[in-house]
A and B are shown apart, each in its own frame.
Chain A
Amino acid sequence: MSKRPRSELENALAHAASASPLVRRLSDEVQFRYRRRRRRRKRNVMRFVIAGLLMMFVTFVVIPSMIAAGFLLGPRGVEGLIAAPLILFVCYGSILYWAFARKPSLPALPAKTVSVAQLPAQTDDWLDQQRRFLPFAAQGKLDSIAIRLEQLAPQVQNLTADRPGAAELKRLLAEELPELVRGYLKVPRALQTQPLHGGLTPEKQLVEGLGTIDEQIGRLHEQLAADDLRALATHQRYLDLKYKRDDELK
């Protein structure tokens, strides 16, 4: 599928983004929300589709098999007449329950064993699931972290564990961030807004901690991109030195 051409609005946004970092950040956020909404919608649609398919499958299995049972084991009369729709409805019910009413089980913590390349996506998913248990004040920071994780994902695709920054990233995303969130969730709900020893409230501590992690992810991102940035800058300079004649080289 070819890439969708940019709309005029997106072009305008991109143009504005190149002018100001604030606009770029806002545009990133808008795009992020848009993508996230689309992802959720897609997830819901997928659930509908899967439930529908399963129900169809059940229908086509149960009814013929009842008929077959009638032929093979002899007719069951009223018993069978009641049993067939009953089985069908029980199946439908459990499928619908599985698809919509069941609370999705919490995904496991981002594992320490997972490769660095998958870590941002996994942490992002995990954090997304934790979101509804976290206070409103933290939502902005969570958004910001999610955006950074999304941007980080392609950057770490080819990152091996022995590269500098890889271990640091792993510790931050697989240990330090989950520990902060879990630490907050362990605090009883009533105490979450009570200041500790006259200091910060747990809620505030969570927000501050998330802010620090957010910044650190940004810093790591820059650090990981540093090699590529340097390579590009070097090449540009090389072209300058080689082909621009009136240079200091002369």
Chain B
Amino acid sequence: MANEPELVLTPPAPVPAVQPEKATGLVPLETAQKSELNKRVDKFIGELLDLDANSPEFGKRAELLMRLGQREIAEAAGQSNRFLERPVKAMASESSVGADLTELRRTVESLDPGRRGDLLAPKKLLGIMPFGNKLRDYFDSYTSAQSHISSILARLASGKDELLKDNAAIDVERQALWAAMQRLEQMIHVSKALDAGLEAKAMDLESLDPAKAKAVRETALFYTRQRLNDLLTQMAVTVQGYLALDLVKKNNVELMKGVERASTTTVSALRTAVTVAQAMTNQRLVLNQITALNTTTANIIESTSELLKKQTAEIHKQAASSTIPVDTLKRAFQNIYQTMDAIDTFKSQALVSMKTTVDALSDEVEKSRGYIARAEGAAQLTPGEAADPFRLTD
């Protein structure tokens, strides 16, 4: 136990706000995709410029740009609610695991041999007459506490399962977000290519056909730039959400480690007590429920079984050889406290970084909603129209 590595739980750093101009390029596009998109952009610009700038077709084509990436934005925005919910929910679920840990601590404290005074001193009735055995009474208190402890440990195990489920959900969500970011990135690539292409064409047209150049600038180019802005904003929020989800996941992993270790140290302290009781008072301490928990929970709680196997032999050796076996027991309790303190520190630090992340994220989501509302408004001006010409795959 003494050689057990000390538990260090590191809270991940908070996720800062992602600036729109830095959001792009995080999700790489394949070269083949890029060249395919460029081809489509060139085709679109060519077709647009073949049209008479005053014809309704020109207007229609240019308006297509107004809805550029509309679906991608809506899709990514639809997920922003969900990734904002996640960290908030995580903070709440931590508190439920926290309650179980506090209860465990309270129960463990009541069994702590360090708080029972000198267990080896003879017990005296009214301080005078020798009566009974303190040590025996002490070990008896385990029997009454064991069902309580085993139920807390079972709750912790299911709390750990909840955290695991949370992480599974985050994995799935991140996968969806990644796909959404890839589509956004494609659209950003398209708008940038359109921006550059249209600008160059408008430049060329300046002397030949100034009216057309003006039309291109005021409609097509204007819409494109507006959309590029929207896309970048949405991308920034999505990237930030993606990173925030990672933060929640890492937090959960750390917390699971803590819960696991708390269970392990508790079970190991109880086993030590069994051994010490045997050695000191020849009392057979029967902690059936805890032992049953060992065999069932040990399979669930990772590393518990290995650790316990290693320790049991050690405890036996220590308890038998050490002159004061109670010290061994006290050390076992110290291990529990250390673990719980580590979890507490971790939780308070993690909460701060989670709150910072949530605040930054909700600010950005709020900002992006303004853009979305505008994009939706634009969409309603021109309902039901041909599919997006730049969309690679559906």
Contact = CB atoms under 8 A, between A and B. Distances in A.
B384 A240 contact: no
Interface centre among A212, A215, A238, A242 (most CB of B within 10 A): A238
Interface stretch (B100-108, B161-169, B236-244): B161-169
B384 A241 contact: no
B161 A237 contact: no
Interface string A230-250: 100111111011100100011
B253 A237 contact: no
Interface residues of A, number: 16
A238 B168 contact: yes
B172 interface: yes
Contacts of B173: 230
Interface residues of B, number: 15
Contact of B172 (A234, A242, A249): A234
Nearest to B57: A199
Interface in B161-199: 161, 164-165, 167-169, 171-173, 175-176
A212 B172 contact: no
B253 A249 contact: yes
A124 B161 CA distance: 45
Nearest to B303: A250
A238 to B, nearest CB: 4
Given A209-B384, A249-B253, A242 B161 contact: yes
Contacts, number: 33
Given A209-B384, A212-B384, A249-B253, A241 B168 contact: yes
A222 to B, nearest CB: 10
A233 B172 contact: yes
A8 B161 CA distance: 44
By secondary structure, the B interface counts as helix
A237 B384 contact: no
Interface string B249-280: 00001000000000000000000000000000
A236 B164 CA distance: 12
A142 to B, nearest CB: 18
A236 B171 CA distance: 11
A242 B302 CA distance: 9
A245 B303 CA distance: 10
A242 B169 contact: no
Given A209-B384, A212-B384, A249-B253, A241 B172 contact: no
A238 B176 CA distance: 16
A238 B253 contact: no
B168 A234 contact: yes
B172 A230 contact: yes
B222 to A, nearest CB: 26
A240 B164 CA distance: 10
A242 B165 CA distance: 9
A230 B175 CA distance: 11
Given A209-B384, A212-B384, A241 B164 contact: yes
A250 B256 CA distance: 11
Contacts of A249: 253
A242 B384 contact: no
A3 to B, nearest CB: 32
Contacts of B161: 242
A234 B384 contact: no
Contacts of A238: 164-165, 168
A16 B175 CA distance: 29
A249 B254 CA distance: 10
Given A209-B384, A212-B384, A249-B253, A240 B172 contact: no
Given A209-B384, A212-B384, A234 B165 contact: yes
Contacts of A212: 384
Contacts of B167: 241
Nearest to A223: B78
A209 B176 CA distance: 30
Contacts of B164: 238, 241-242
Contacts of A240: 168
Nearest to A176: B384
Given A230-B176, A234-B171, A250-B302, 4 more contacts: A212-B384, A234-B168, A236-B168, A241-B167
9 closest A-B pairs by beta carbon, nearest first, are A237-B168, A238-B168, A233-B172, A234-B169, A234-B168, A234-B172, A238-B165, A237-B171, A241-B164
28 contacts: A209-B384, A230-B169, A230-B172, A230-B173, A230-B176, A233-B172, A233-B175, A234-B165, A234-B168, A234-B169, A234-B171, A234-B172, A235-B168, A236-B168, A237-B169, A237-B171, A237-B172, A238-B164, A238-B165, A238-B168, A240-B168, A241-B164, A241-B167, A241-B168, A241-B171, A242-B164, A245-B302, A249-B253
